[in-house]
Structure 1
Amino acid sequence: MEETTTFHGLGHLFFTIFLYCFSSFIVAPAITDISMAALCPGKDECSLAIYLSGFQQVITGVGSLMMMPLMGSLSDKHGRKCLLTLPMTLHILPLATLAYSTRGTTIFYMYYVLKTSTSIVCEGTVFCLALAYVADNVSERRRGSAFAILTGITSCAFVCANLCARFLSIAATYQVATGMGILSLLYMRLFLPDSIRDNSLGAPIVISETLSSSLLEDCPGHRNRIFRAIHSVREMASLLRSSVPFFQVAMVSFCSSLAEAGLHASSMYYLKAKFHFNKDQFADLMIISGATGSISQLLFMPILVPALKEERLLSIGLFFGGAHVPYMAAIFSLFSVFPHSCMRSIVSKQVASYEQGKAQGIISSIDSLANVISPLAFSPLTDWFLSERAPFNFLGFSIMCAGFMMTIAFIQSLMIRATTPISDMGSP
């Protein structure tokens, strides 16, 4: 009976994540065209759009750097479902803005401000909490495969979303995204059972004063945000020091995320400037990459994880990721999607059951730190080499630099030697 309940819980989680990711990914091919049309109409190169995108990454990264471990830690105490409600609700607001209208500089800036502010809480939080939910319900032996399936679900959503975006107008794209965002929130609240069943848990957190009081309980004696932030950083440092593999994975995660963020900051504007890509061509490229990633995560990883273990698959994925970045070889996506699931699985096995949310939140915050640093380097670099001021003719120079950073992550991954997993110690 308990296994059946767990299976249904994971099924509801997977469907929730599919809907949420569909809502997020369907707008990806369109946002470059919207930004360029609002800020630099009629042009294929726009420095303002590049720098605004980089600034958004920095603000989002700084905010989520502190929010991720806090949200994960709160979910350990109050349940995953309760904490999922906040980011899934905020996620809808910027989408609804462009669903109302996609034209005009004013509406774009309204969207930009909403997207930047809500992403502090939303960026990566839903996936982080979903990973903790899976860790709650799946044994250590099967956790790597379960994480791969969860990541595969997001890849399927990515493919389906981009297929839809390929045939929808930009205005209709944001209307569909808003509707799917609302549907994912309603489905989660109605059908997803919570995975935390400790009787000591209080009533679900209500966003406002109940959330504030919970934060104060986590930091007794500290009554302001600065001290709560310091407390959160100290918890992160303590958990990182508790396991050498945990620390090693954190370093690999930082370097690989820095490379991926650099690629994201560079590739679309590079393709726009070099090949005059539009929304449909961006969607085609994303569909190819997403489809290969979905096949890999859903079919190959559940077979390969038991045979090769997460550490070896992590290195394989990073090796192909380093080759994939500079040359955009979509076929390498079969292998380059391995690292995320492998890193999360290794980390989940290094902490006890009551620290899963905190541990996943720390890795997500490391990724956020990379997202802060990356645009500071890659946005000016991309703008420089796409402009007439470039010191030499190499439009894809920033993409090559992202490839070098991924290679550094690969070298670091070779040194990971995971210790015996920490046994399930129960709630404290």
Structure 2
Amino acid sequence: MLLLILRFKYLFVIVQISGIGSVFMMPVIGNLSDVYGRKLLLTFPLTFSIFPLLILGLRRTTVFFYVYYVLKTLTGMVTEGGVMCLALSFLADNGEKRVSAFGLLAGVESAAALFGTLAARLLPTTQIFQVAAVASITALVYMRIFLEDTTRSTDALEQQPILNSTNEEGNKPLKTTDIANKIPSPKDIIRLLKSSTTASLASFVAFFINIAQAAVVDFLMYYLKARFHFQKDQFADITLIIYSGAVISNMLLDSIAWSSWVSCIISKQVGPNEQGIAQGCIMGISAFASAVSPVIYSPISGALEFLRSYIETVAD
């Protein structure tokens, strides 16, 4: 039981550090992609995601295990959400049928997770990280060879943001040129999210729904492991069911998932030169919610467990 608790503590540390780092990195990555192009910035998270997998793919000793955790924590600040942020920005550059396009992307992501989980279910533990490393390298090579960078129009009319030059509260006009030409400060990000009531509400939805989802997933895994002694195959079976439903909802039902709608709403609230930073802000908010979720729910679950033990003691 002590080893189980330590493993989940390591997992929570990775999620928290990576999530807090993503709060700052996602808007930066998105904003730089607005300036230097999506393809160039997409190279970095795809490359960084390979190194932790190679570590455990080479050897699974204690030293390599800790090296993996350190690399995973550091690279997670860029890779966790970075690929999806830039992929959404790619689709937003085209500007047509965004809801369907975002829903299809979410469906593809769920399908990839489905097949990845199926591979983990069938492969022996010693080969999982090796296969994952090969898949990551293949994705990077495919992206560099076949993916064409999107071109954003330089027409003066299209350069104007969809929002008005002043926000709904009559505050200072948004300096989109400043945001597009430098690393965004927290003040820039807050002003971007406050530029319309719709954008603010969408960011609140992203924050609270990610807190709820992270709590359910993390503590469900812990409970199933502690109470029913679930192993890799049992966790894979549950994950297969979850991702199968996600594929159906996103690809066959034209996206009823909340994440696609939030991304689409945010995309329509900003101009063509702000798509990257807008999607980066939402991804950063989602990552921050996942990071603080264990901090919020751990005391609650501990209090409930203490209350349950107390009631059982009194009843006896």
- TM-score bucket of the superposed structures, by smaller chain: 0.7 to 0.9
1:295 to 236, 242, 248: 248
1:392 to 302, 308, 312: 308
CA deviation profile, 1:319-341 (whole Å, cap 9, x unmatched) = xxxxxxxxxxxxxxxxxxx1000
Q: CA deviation at 1:372?
A: 2.5
Query: Which letter does structure 1 place at the counterpart of 2:64?
Result: I
Asked if the contact 2:93–2:152 (Cα under 8 Å) also holds between the matched residues in 1, the reply is no
Report whether the alignment pairs 1:243 with 2:219. Answer: no
Q: CA deviation at 1:193?
A: 0.1
Cα distance in 2 between the residues matched to 1:108 and 1:375: 23
1:73 to 31, 43, 52: 31
Query: Which letter does structure 2 place at the counterpart of 1:47?
Result: I
2:126 to 162, 171, 195: 171
Query: Which letter does structure 1 place at the counterpart of 2:194?
Result: R
CA deviation profile, 1:361-397 (whole Å, cap 9, x unmatched) = 1111111221221122234555x379xx733159xxx
Q: CA deviation at 1:197?
A: 4.9
Q: How does 1:45-84 map to 2 (within 5 A)?
A: 46-84=4-42
Query: Which letter does structure 2 place at the counterpart of 1:129?
Result: L
Distance 1:108-1:378 versus aligned 2 partners, 3 A rule: farther
Higher relative contact order (CA 8 A, sep 6+): 2
- Tell me the residue number matched to 1:195: 150
Cα distance in 1 between the residues matched to 2:80 and 2:113: 16
Instruction: Give 3-state SS (helix, strand or coil) of 1:392's partner.
Output: helix
TM-score, L = length of structure 1: 0.64
Distance 1:128-1:87 versus aligned 2 partners, 3 A rule: same
Instruction: Give 3-state SS (helix, strand or coil) of 1:345's partner.
Output: helix
Cα distance in 2 between the residues matched to 1:365 and 1:136: 20
Give the gaps of 5 or more residues in structure 2. Answer: 155-179, 311-316
Report whether the alignment pairs 1:350 with 2:269. Answer: yes
Kindly report the root-mean-square deviation, in angstroms, between the aligned alpha carbons of the 2 structures: 2.4
Query: Which letter does structure 2 place at the counterpart of 1:390?
Result: F
Asked if the contact 1:78–1:196 (Cα under 8 Å) also holds between the matched residues in 2, the reply is no
Report whether the alignment pairs 1:129 with 2:107. Answer: no
Cα distance in 1 between the residues matched to 2:62 and 2:297: 25
Report whether the alignment pairs 1:365 with 2:284. Answer: yes
Cα distance in 2 between the residues matched to 1:170 and 1:218: 46
Q: CA deviation at 1:241?
A: 1.6
Query: Which letter does structure 1 place at the counterpart of 2:223?
Result: Y
Q: CA deviation at 1:138?
A: 3.5
Query: Which letter does structure 1 place at the counterpart of 2:58?
Result: Y
Instruction: Give 3-state SS (helix, strand or coil) of 2:230's partner.
Output: coil
Asked if the contact 1:73–1:357 (Cα under 8 Å) also holds between the matched residues in 2, the reply is yes
Give the gaps of 5 or more residues in structure 1. Answer: 1-35, 41-45, 200-216, 220-227, 303-312, 314-337, 395-428
Aligned length: 288
Asked if the contact 2:35–2:181 (Cα under 8 Å) also holds between the matched residues in 1, the reply is no
Q: CA deviation at 1:238?
A: 1.2
Name which of structure 1's ranges 66-75 and 190-199 shifts more when overlaid on structure 2: 190-199
2:77 to 113, 120, 126: 120
Distance 1:280-1:94 versus aligned 2 partners, 3 A rule: same
Cα distance in 1 between the residues matched to 2:83 and 2:5: 32
Query: Which letter does structure 1 place at the counterpart of 2:139?
Result: S
Cα distance in 2 between the residues matched to 1:390 and 1:100: 43
Identical-residue share of aligned pairs (%): 42
- Tell me the residue number matched to 1:233: 186
Instruction: Give 3-state SS (helix, strand or coil) of 1:390's partner.
Output: helix
Cα distance in 2 between the residues matched to 1:234 and 1:90: 28
